[in-house]
């Protein structure tokens, strides 16, 4: 359990700190902002290469199709939610400007909650 750094997309200087405790984004910023707040350069480098600093589950890596989201401010759906990896940069940009409602509009109900086929 803990936090990992996820790079929003390969062509943008935008990162999310993702908590595996609450399954949610806890911070958004640039590489410089993350380094200034104490994140390790090697974790940032790993996120640049693989999409995530997570060395175990590789949560949020370039190959991930989606991320499970457990905590939201404006819950619109019942049950587990996901964020498609393709929407991650837009999600981060909305959060960066304080628009959590728009960010959460990108969340969708998990089509396979708890691993059950739809």
| Tens-place pLDDT, residues 25-77 | 999 999 999 999 999 999 999 999 999 999 988 889 999 999 988 866 666 66
Q: d(Cα 91, Cα 113) in Å, to the nearest integer?
A: 21
pTM given for the model: 0.87
Q: Does the pLDDT at position 116 exceed 70?
A: no
Token digits for 62?
A: 């370039």
Helices (H), 37-99: 41-50, 88-96
- Cα–Cα dist 18/52, whole Å: 10
Residue 76 has a pLDDT of 63
């Amino acid at each position: 359990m803990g936090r990992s750094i996820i790079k929003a997309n390969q062509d943008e200087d935008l990162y999310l700190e993702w908590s595996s405790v609450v399954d949610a984004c806890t911070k958004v910023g640039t590489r410089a902002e993350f380094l200034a707040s104490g994140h390790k350069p090697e974790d940032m480098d790993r996120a640049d290469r693989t999409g995530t600093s997570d060395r175990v589950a590789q949560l949020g890596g370039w190959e991930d199709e989606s991320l499970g989201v457990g905590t939201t401010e404006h819950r619109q759906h019942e049950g587990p939610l996901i964020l498609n990896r393709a929407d991650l940069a837009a999600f981060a940009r909305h959060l960066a400007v304080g628009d959590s409602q728009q960010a959460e509009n990108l969340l969708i109900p998990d089509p396979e909650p708890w691993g059950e086929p739809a």
